[in-house]
Structures are given as C-alpha cells and as structure tokens.
Amino acid sequence: MNPRSILRLVALLLVATLGLAGCSTAPGQAEGPTRTITDIEGTEVEVPVEPERVITLSEPTLDAVLALGLVPAGTVSGRGQSSVPNYLAEQAGDIPILGTVAQPNFEAIGEISPDLILVDGTSINNNPPVIEALRQIAPTVYTGYAGGDWKANLGFVAEAVNKVAEGEQILADYEAKTNDAREKLNSYADQTFSVVRWQGNTAAMILKELPAGRALSDVGLQRPENQNREGRGHSEPVSAENLQEIDADFLFFGTLGGSSVSNPDAGGTVDESAARESIAQARSVPGFTSLNAYQQNHIIPVDGSAWTSTGGPLLMNKIVDDILAALT
C-alpha cells in the first residue's frame, strides 16, 4: 500500500472514528482510566489501564498476548498462511482475521473499535504512514523489531496490557525449562543443528536471531559454522548450487504453506505432515540426498509456523518441547 493510499485511509478513519465517538473522545485516544507507557522506539503512548479490545498485528504480539492470558479482539494471519499461525490454532483459531502481517485491513480494524493496537517490525516494519493510520484508530504501541529479542518484545506487550508480573513469570519459567533441557541434551554437545525452511525446490536457512536459532542456543545446541551468526531478521535463501550450506549432523526441516501478500487465500499447510511431504519432494533436488543429515536419517520434520517464522513465548516453549521430543 502506497503512502498516498494510506493517508486517504487515515482521513476516512478520522471521520468514522469521530462519528463513533460522539465527539466525546478524540480519534485514537483511550477511553476511561489511562496510564502512559513508553514503547520500544521511545514514543510515549497513553493506553487504557485495563484494555478490553486489544488487536495484535503480528505473530509475536499475538503470541505474547495469549501467553499473558488475554484473547485479542482481532489479529492478522500468520505469514504463509490464511489464518492464525498453525502453532497457535488451538488458542487463537476463533479470533477474527484483520488482514495479513504485511497488509492490515484498516476498515476491519476500525469496525472493531479497538482500545489498544500492538504491532512490531515483523509485520509493518516501522512504516510511519501505517503507524500513523493505526494511531488514528486507537492507542498503538510498537513493541519490537524484526530479528529483535522476543523477551524484550514480550516485556513491552506486558507493559502495554498491564501484566508486567505475569510477563516476568513467563520468562522465569522459560529459563528454568531451558536449563533443564540443557542437562537432558548434554550428550549432543558435539553435534551441529541446522534449521531450514523449504519452499518448492528451494531452501532458506534460519539463523541465530530468529526464534528457532535462539532456542537452540538456549538449550546448548551448536550450529554449523556457516549458520553460527545473525542475519537480517529473516531467513537467508540458499541457491541450489550451494545446497550443502544447509547441512549439519541434524536438520530441523519446516515449510510455510502457499499463501502470500498477493494471494492470501492460497492456503497450504505448515505442520509436520507438510514438512514430511516437502522432504519427499526435496529428494528429487540434486544434492539433497547427499547431505550428511539425510544420509544419517537425521532430518527432523517440524511445524514451519513455529520453527521457520517468528513469535513469542508460546512459540519458544513449543520449539524446546519439539527438541526434547526429537532428541530424548
């Protein structure tokens, strides 16, 4: 969506919001008791003391709000999917979908009359016109950056919804869980672990800054030397000629379905069964069956919505559970 279109939407939303508010509350302002918080960019935002209609416009913010015990009034589809991220389907399957992570539906958001909007750089990527449009609808808190620390993102979400103590407990529980996992996985200390997203006949590596990479580090598992680094907050494509780059002693293998910004209803599955189908297709790609992980039968199918995308504490706990289930 170009800036001119966004600004037109802002004007329309201003009119709609003024009409709904009955002139008692200015557009984008919280009703009832409020408090002032500061988001990750240093912007002060006046938010409701107890927000009741929270909208989450990214996977990490949806995950964090659910983990904190709240149910959003609306959210966006998971990347590569036409509904909520597959790993959150049980908790969030009935939440209204208000567009995609890259293109929120402003009209649908306005119709819900949210009292708080949570967004981060994994979705609109700090696009000032989009953030301004959202702030004409309701108080909008920017909680994190693409490739940023999920723990920091959780902290800003917890502050915005007034559940700081609950957020701190989530982090303490995760630390205890990963410490326990380190002990259970000690026998794998000399092995290397790769994480790959497979789409069609092409691969992309998940590096250290994405959740799966952070989880592997948290439980003491090592990456291959070429993957033991951070990227740019997303997966890194690997050409067919360099397929060997994805290899390791063990390879966690996921896919992300067929939906896209241009075709959000394309569907496609992302769970472990989809990963198994992709592994079967990958066998026809030159070099795949020569990988050490393949030769050792160490390719592990995983849910791509968790392992090859982004999220928050629910995602991190799922990845640790998956690691333990596969290796212990």
Provide the pLDDT for residue 191. Answer: 98
Higher pLDDT, 266 or 189: 189
The DSSP result for 188-246, as a single string, is GTT-BEEEEEEETTEEEE--TTSHHHHHHHHTTPBPPGGGSS--SSS-EEE-GGGGGGG
The yes-or-no verdict on residue 176 having pLDDT over 80 is: yes
| Position 195 pLDDT exceeds 60 | yes
pLDDT value for 323 = 98
Q: What is the structure's pLDDT at 266?
A: 45
56: pLDDT strictly greater than 80: yes
Residue 313 has pLDDT above 90, yes or no: yes
State residue 261's pLDDT score.
39
Q: What is the mean pLDDT of residues 172-185?
A: 98
Residue 235 has what pLDDT?
A: 82
Place of tokens 């708080």: 116
pLDDT of residue 15: 42
Q: Is the pLDDT of residue 34 over 70?
A: yes
- Average pLDDT for 17-28: 47
Contacts for 233 with CB less than 8 Å, ≥ 6 apart: 121, 122, 145, 146, 147, 148, 209, 210
Long-range contacts of 230-235 (CB under 8 A, 24+ apart): 230/147, 231/147, 231/207, 232/146, 232/147, 233/121, 233/122, 233/145, 233/146, 233/147, 233/148, 233/209, 234/146, 234/147, 234/210, 235/197, 235/204, 235/205, 235/206, 235/207, 235/210, 235/308
Q: How confident is the model at residue 142 (pLDDT cuts 50, 70, 90)?
A: very high
pLDDT one-digit tens code per residue, 205-239: 999 999 999 999 999 999 999 999 988 766 899 99
In the predicted model, is pLDDT for residue 25 greater than 70?
no
Quick check: 240 and 287 in contact, CB under 8 A? Answer: yes
Domains present along the chain, CATH in parentheses? 34-168 (3.40.50.1980), 185-327 (3.40.50.1980)
Indicate if the pLDDT at residue 23 is higher than 60. no
Q: How many CB atoms lie within 10 A of CB 7?
A: 13
- At residue 19, the pLDDT reads 43
Sequence-separated contacts (24+) of 234-237 with Cβ below 8 Å:
234/146, 234/147, 234/210, 235/197, 235/204, 235/205, 235/206, 235/207, 235/210, 235/308, 236/204, 236/205, 236/207, 237/202, 237/203, 237/204
Question: Binning pLDDT at 50, 70 and 90, where does residue 152 land?
Answer: very high
pLDDT on residue 210:
92
At 268 the pLDDT is 56
Residue 80: predicted pLDDT: 81
Residue of 78 and 171 predicted with greater confidence: 171
Can you list the pairs that 96-99 forms with residues at least 24 positions away whose Cβ atoms lie under 8 Å? 98/55, 98/57, 98/74, 99/57
Confidence (pTM): 0.89
Q: Tell me: the pLDDT tens digits for 88-132? A: 999 998 999 999 988 899 999 999 999 999 999 998 876 788 999
Q: Is 271 left (phi over 0), alpha (psi -120 to 50) or beta?
A: beta
Rounded Cα gap, residues 74 and 97, in angstroms? 6
- Report the pLDDT value the prediction gives residue 258, as an integer from 0 to 100: 52
Q: Does residue 3 have a pLDDT over 60?
A: no
DSSP per-residue string spanning 255-287: ---S--SS-TT-----SHHHHHHHHHHHTTSTT
297 pLDDT band (50/70/90 cuts)? very high
Mean pLDDT of 41-58: 97
To the nearest whole percent, how much of the chain has pLDDT over 90? 76
Tokens of residue 16, six digits = 């709609």
Task: Match 């939407």 to its residue by tokens.
Answer: 9
Q: Are 264 and 100 in contact (CB under 8 A)?
A: yes
Tell me what the pLDDT averaged over the chain comes to. 89
